[in-house]
Structure 1
């Protein structure tokens, strides 16, 4: 059976320290930092989630190396994989809630846009907000894809526990896992790309405000 790759890599949104300047620059800095701080729980669970993914991947490889005569051990390790999948979903829930909180903080930027008198500044901040919203939407899409992936993986682990499962059925389920994993990786790439775009746009916007 083809081994699936489930490790994810996320870029972290790096923001500047809070600025004490008054005016639009200071207000925008505050909103950005509020958003960044709201993502703290998301950042905290990344290491734990990655460790579970790697350990589960190794466990899956071990299961595939066992013979039919070792079904008891297969069932035991498949249950371990199921427990690990549930732990990943718990970490994902924390991550999801953290990002949702950060998205709510983004609404604070509407006041910054409203207060901006310079149309160029207003346009820049609106573009930044739109790109940040696009990033949050991409993360929400990732969550949906990842939950579906874990669902397919859990179905596969359940099949492995059942000694009556046919090899063809296992192979078909593994194919579904691999196909959904590709969807997840595409979602990760899109999220990382948008994170880079947000950082670039944020830096350019703050630089303009500093020079103005």
Structure 2
């Protein structure tokens, strides 16, 4: 059977640097650091998600090596995989809530933009805001794709528990899982690229603000 690849959730952190001073730069730095802190639960679940993914992959490979005469063991391991998939749904929910809190916090940048007097500063802040909002939207797309992947994986595990499932049925479902996993990988790549872009915008904006306040 075609291998069912799991989606490794890649953690791409929004790296921040503390600054001292006053005015726009200090306000922006505070908002960014608070936003980073709100994402702590998102970062915290990455290792747990990856651990479950690897364990489920191993379980799936072990299950497919079993025979029809070992259906009891197949069902037992498939249930273990199901339990793991449900745990991943819980981790994903925690991740989504963390990112939503971060987005709410980041909305405070509107006040910083309004207080900026120089048009060039406003333009930099608007670009940073747009980039971050696009990043949050990209995470929404990832979460939606990843949740759909888990749903399809759970369907596969349920089929494995059923001794009436044929090899063809399992292969077709495995193909669905693999296809959805491709969508997840695309979403992960997009999110990571946008995170890097936001990091670059953040660095550039803080550097320009620092020079303007000298």
The normalised TM-score by structure 1 is 0.98
User: Does the aligned pair in 1 maintain the 2:11–2:43 contact within 8 Å?
Assistant: no
Identify the residue that residue 16 of structure 2 maps to in structure 1: 15
Q: How does 1:32-71 map to 2 (within 5 A)?
A: 32-71=32-71
Identify the residue that residue 178 of structure 1 maps to in structure 2: 178
- Could you tell me which runs of 5 or more consecutive residues in structure 1 were left unpaired when the two chains were aligned: none
Tell me how far apart the structure 2 counterparts of residues 20 and 4 of structure 1 sit (CA, whole Å): 50
Deviating 4+ runs (over 4 angstroms): none
Cα RMSD, aligned residues only: 0.8
Q: How does 1:55-134 map to 2 (within 5 A)?
A: 55-134=55-134
Deviation at 1:45, TM superposition (A): 1.0
| SS of corresponding position for 1:8 | coil
| SS of corresponding position for 1:163 | coil
Tell me how far apart the structure 1 counterparts of residues 50 and 100 of structure 2 sit (CA, whole Å): 21
| SS of corresponding position for 2:108 | helix
Identify the residue that residue 140 of structure 2 maps to in structure 1: 140
Tell me how far apart the structure 2 counterparts of residues 165 and 77 of structure 1 sit (CA, whole Å): 16
Deviation at 1:51, TM superposition (A): 0.7
Deviation at 1:20, TM superposition (A): 3.3
Tell me how far apart the structure 1 counterparts of residues 202 and 10 of structure 2 sit (CA, whole Å): 22
Tell me how far apart the structure 2 counterparts of residues 194 and 180 of structure 1 sit (CA, whole Å): 21
Greater Cα shift, 26-35 or 6-15: 6-15
Identify the residue that residue 208 of structure 1 maps to in structure 2: 208
Residues 121-168 of structure 1: per-residue CA shift (max 9 Å, x gap)? 000000001000000000010000000000000000000000001111
User: Does the aligned pair in 1 maintain the 2:99–2:136 contact within 8 Å?
Assistant: yes
Tell me how far apart the structure 1 counterparts of residues 4 and 199 of structure 2 sit (CA, whole Å): 31
| SS of corresponding position for 1:123 | helix
Deviation at 1:116, TM superposition (A): 0.2
How many corresponding residue pairs?
211
Tell me how far apart the structure 2 counterparts of residues 184 and 47 of structure 1 sit (CA, whole Å): 17
| SS of corresponding position for 1:60 | helix
Deviation at 1:191, TM superposition (A): 0.2
Identify the residue that residue 168 of structure 2 maps to in structure 1: 168
1:4 matched to 2:4: yes
Tell me how far apart the structure 2 counterparts of residues 5 and 191 of structure 1 sit (CA, whole Å): 20
Tell me how far apart the structure 1 counterparts of residues 57 and 91 of structure 2 sit (CA, whole Å): 17
- Could you tell me which runs of 5 or more consecutive residues in structure 2 were left unpaired when the two chains were aligned: none
